[in-house]
Structure 1
């Protein structure tokens, strides 16, 4: 780990992210070191530099690299590296909006759709962020994100993802929302409409109050109600949404615990400058093992070193 990390820790003490701006930052010096590492195909130094810079600093490194070499850093990395470490460093060079758009695109690519990754991103981003991600998706893929989501999903699940993509907070009365959700469960088949409408248009504090009231009325947790009364993709979607309303860090820690490369990387990269410290805390509470230690049990080589650098430290 670079010694200047500790200076940057003090400089940005208020963040819940693990990756912070590098305090002694000189993009031209970084580019010179990166050039030397690329020539030697030295993954260790490439990992050391790119994981110890904030995303904004990485963008400046990429533009400086192009100015100095008349080549794109992404192209140069592809030539010098391979495997998981290549994928991870390329992901680190995307802007946060690009990366979320990329993950959504990947979740819909090929045969079958990764519904849970769609839900993870849609549930953990604000309405404003999702508007910006939609613009980024249009810019990089020249496709309309909402149309893509509709084309890859169907039925009530499609209605849920579209509602999440266009979510905006609307004031609601807690008791009225509790009564509406309870009434939706009264028939032989539960009516999912009110669940989609209310859970995608209220802020999390309001919904936590609604959930408490509904749990008192029904005598069971909201997650249990969803599990029993719904089925298929809409059940998965509502379960993820409920978990993200109640405790997004716990949900993301559970998801990381799968230790699937794409999931671990996706969450760690996208949350590294936001709330990865919270996810780390939830992970150790959930599993009894720190994320830093768990990563060492499942990954190896330069890829592991890059993940450990993003994770930052033992808990």
Structure 2
């Protein structure tokens, strides 16, 4: 389940000059109000690496932190997108995880989106950055904010112990499928630990074989059985793992669609996925979105989002 390389919509800006960009940003923040158009034109059209160069050049030239200056100049969703784009990917993941667990409630969807879709290396980096930034482990915060089997699934994912080889053990795949069937559909009640042991530990190719065998044994798709056997955040977590194993871009396409469907937009989900995946697999997400929903992601964002922040998202989309 490693990230797909070079399938992003954001590529290096030609003729990039960090000092020139710094001057444009300084001009955009001069006087009363901020020239948001200048920010829209620049920030989403630079790679993560180029944005880091801009941040360094800004600090050298101005003696201040670019993110701090922009934070004081901007507000709402526009600020959220811009500040997210200025962060390194693991720092942004940490920021989102921390926010999801702060305050009265917990945004379980954020924890699931990130932890179910990242590779072992990405999880390990998140763990290291989180500890350094917040002086607590992600696991400590997760355990303080969640409970039961949902907590155990998140802790398992945070351990970054998934087999990432391509090896498929046919006999084990059949046994895994049988174990899951007997832990769920074949009995009264559900032994969720069996699901955890298989879904959070086995490699992608092996799991695809498990899902095939499960269909033969049970007569049902694994996703259908999870919906029948689980509920709430645990159901969402197991479904996310299965969907990411099968087709990660399709998982994110579905999450984007649901964030914009119906009354209003779930801005936090829309922003998080667009920022996090722009340089990873946004081309594939766009293709899956069109295939699944018959409309381009670009047209959906343009029609279903309000405010200037959507212009940054459209830039991240890379056109139709």
TM-score, L = length of structure 2: 0.90
Q: Which deviates further from its counterpart, 227-236 or 190-199?
A: 227-236
Kept after mapping to 2: 8 A contact 1:223/1:239: yes
Aligned CA distance change for structure 1 residues 304 and 195 (closer, same or farther; 3 Å): same
**Equivalents in 2 of 1:304, 1:224: separation in Å?**
35
Aligned to 1:267: 273
Aligned to 1:104: 97
Kept after mapping to 2: 8 A contact 1:167/1:200: no
**How far off is 1:28 after superposition?**
0.8
Deviations 1:254-276 (A, max 9, x none): 11112211111100100000001
| Unaligned ranges ≥5, structure 2 | 261-265
**How far off is 1:313 after superposition?**
0.9
Aligned to 1:24: 15
Q: SS of the residue aligned with 1:143?
A: coil
Q: SS of the residue aligned with 2:6?
A: coil
Kept after mapping to 2: 8 A contact 1:164/1:200: yes
Kept after mapping to 2: 8 A contact 1:178/1:210: yes
Kept after mapping to 1: 8 A contact 2:58/2:66: yes
Matched, 1:85 2:78: yes
**Equivalents in 1 of 2:232, 2:12: separation in Å?**
43
Aligned CA distance change for structure 1 residues 38 and 151 (closer, same or farther; 3 Å): same
Q: How does 1:9-88 map to 2 (within 5 A)?
A: 15-40=6-31, 41-88=34-81
**Equivalents in 2 of 1:157, 1:208: separation in Å?**
23
**How far off is 1:142 after superposition?**
1.6
2:140 aligns with one of 147, 169, 172: 147
Give the alignment's Cα RMSD to 1 decimal.
1.5
1:293 aligns with one of 299, 308, 320: 299
**How far off is 1:169 after superposition?**
3.1
**Equivalents in 2 of 1:80, 1:178: separation in Å?**
54
**Equivalents in 2 of 1:229, 1:151: separation in Å?**
26
Kept after mapping to 2: 8 A contact 1:184/1:194: yes
Q: How does 1:122-271 map to 2 (within 5 A)?
A: 122-170=115-163, 173-185=172-184, 186-257=186-257, 258-259=259-260, 260-271=266-277
Kept after mapping to 1: 8 A contact 2:6/2:279: yes
**How far off is 1:312 after superposition?**
0.9
Kept after mapping to 1: 8 A contact 2:52/2:86: yes
Q: Which deviates further from its counterpart, 172-181 or 17-26?
A: 172-181
TM-score, L = length of structure 1: 0.92
Q: SS of the residue aligned with 1:208?
A: helix
**How far off is 1:243 after superposition?**
1.6
Aligned to 1:94: 87
| Unaligned ranges ≥5, structure 1 | 1-13
Aligned to 1:117: 110
Q: Which deviates further from its counterpart, 77-86 or 17-26?
A: 77-86
